[in-house]
Each structure stands twice: as structure tokens, then as C-alpha cells.
Amino acid sequence: MDIETLLTFTLASLSLTISPGPDILYVISKSIVQGKKAAILTSLGLTSGLVIHTFLIAFGLSIIISESEYILNSIKIIGVFYFIYLIIKVIQNRKTDYETKKDLHNINYFKRGLIMNLLNPKVGLFFIAFFPGFLFHSELSNQVQFLILGLIFWLQASIVFLLVSVFGSKLNSFTKSNSYYNKYLFVIEVIVYVFVIYWIVR
């Protein structure tokens, strides 16, 4: 087993996770706009998507998807329309007091995080391009190694998103106590959703 390769993979994964991208910006926006709990649930959804992508690449399904322009374009189109729908919902509910939302809605944060990750075809394409360069054991099958690499990627992403959720929520306390800022919090979510759409189609 090449420990150095695994360490390099972990550091590379960490640098990619903390770099500005749709997932981490989405978690930041949730922590600021709706607080720590919403951000953590969103993070659980996003990282659950990473688990699914890991199994897809381990069992060769990601290759099939990546080679089908029809499937990739279909995922992109569905993703774009889904985030347009979310933008409309945010604008319609812009006067909602986020603090008064009921707990039964909490599952929606998880679902949106999961759907966001799965409807971004670039995540699967990234795994296909990234993982093969870090195979670390000559006696283990590629399938097992991909699963281990996926576990490492999931673990570091979960830790990063948890920390972002906790520290970002500090700003939520400030915005909730300031009626002026609270009135325009929806703009943050709209900007993030627009960025995600751009990220998907570019």
C-alpha cells in the first residue's frame, strides 16, 4: 500500500473541497441565511451524493454516463430547470421568516443537497478524471480502491462542510437580529443558485 499516494489524494481532495465551487458556496449560503441546522442537513445531502457517485465509478456506471452525450445533456437540462424552480420558490417566499420554519421542512434541506449533487454531471466526470490517478495498491482491485478513495473524499468533505456550517452560522445570528439584512437574505440564495446553473452549463 502506497501511503504517500493516499496522503497526496487526501490533501488534493481537501484543496478542491475548500476552493470556491457550488457545493461549498451552497453550504455557506445555507448557514448564513437559515442557520447551522439547515446547513448541516444540506451538507448531509451533498455528501450522500458523493457516496452515490463513488459507487457509480466503482461499478463502472460513471463511464457509461460520461460517454453518453444524451444522458449528460438530459442531466444538465433537468438540473437547470430544477434550480430555476428553486430560484422562483426563493423569490416567492422572500418575506418568509426563516427562523419560524417548522422542523418537518428540515428534510427538504437534505433532499435539495442530495439532488443538487446528483444533478451536477461534473461531479461524476470529476471522479472519473481524478480517482484513477491515485490508485495505491497493486493487489487490490480498482473497484475496491475507488471505494476507499471515495470514502476518504466523503470524510474530508463532510468535515469541511460541518466546519463551514458551524462558523457560517455565526453570521446567521447577526442577520436575524438585523431586520434590514434579514429582509434581503433571499438574494444570497438566488445568487448561489444562478452560480450553480452557470457551473452546470458552462
Binning pLDDT at 50, 70 and 90, where does residue 103 land? very low
Answer yes or no: are the C-beta atoms of 158 and 47 closer than 8 Å. Answer: yes
91 or 94: which carries more pLDDT confidence? 91
Q: Among positive and negative, which fits the CA dihedral 75, 79, 85, 88?
A: negative
Work out the average pLDDT over 128-150: 90
Answer yes or no: are the C-beta atoms of 47 and 191 closer than 8 Å. Answer: no
DSSP for residue 132: G
3-class SS of residue 142: helix
Report the C-alpha gap between 40 and 162 in whole angstroms. Answer: 6
Binning pLDDT at 50, 70 and 90, where does residue 81 land? very high
Model pLDDT, residue 180: 61
Answer yes or no: are the C-beta atoms of 185 and 31 closer than 8 Å. Answer: no
pLDDT in tens, 154-179: 999 999 999 999 988 887 766 666 66
Mean per-residue pLDDT over the chain, rounded: 86
Task: Look up the pTM and report it.
Answer: 0.85
Work out the average pLDDT over 123-141: 89
Class of residue 139 by CB neighbours under 10 A (exposed 0-12, middle 13-18, buried 19+): exposed
Query: Can you read off the three cell numbers belonging to residue 66?
Result: 460520461
Model pLDDT, residue 182: 64
Using a CB cutoff of 8 Å and minimum separation of 24, what contacts does 33-38 make?
Answer: 33/98, 33/172, 33/175, 33/185, 33/186, 33/188, 33/189, 34/98, 34/101, 34/109, 34/172, 35/98, 35/99, 35/169, 35/172, 36/165, 36/166, 36/168, 36/169, 36/172, 37/106, 38/98, 38/106, 38/109
Q: Is residue 184 scored above 90 in pLDDT?
A: no
Query: Can you read off the three cell numbers belonging to residue 51?
Result: 457516496
Answer yes or no: are the C-beta atoms of 46 and 119 closer than 8 Å. Answer: no
Work out the average pLDDT over 108-124: 91
176 or 93: which carries more pLDDT confidence? 93
Model pLDDT, residue 54: 94
3-class SS of residue 120: coil
pLDDT in tens, 17-46: 998 888 999 999 899 888 899 999 999 999
Longest alpha-carbon distance in the chain: 61
pLDDT more than 70, % of the chain: 88
- What is the Cα gyration radius of the chain? 18
185 or 1: which carries more pLDDT confidence? 185
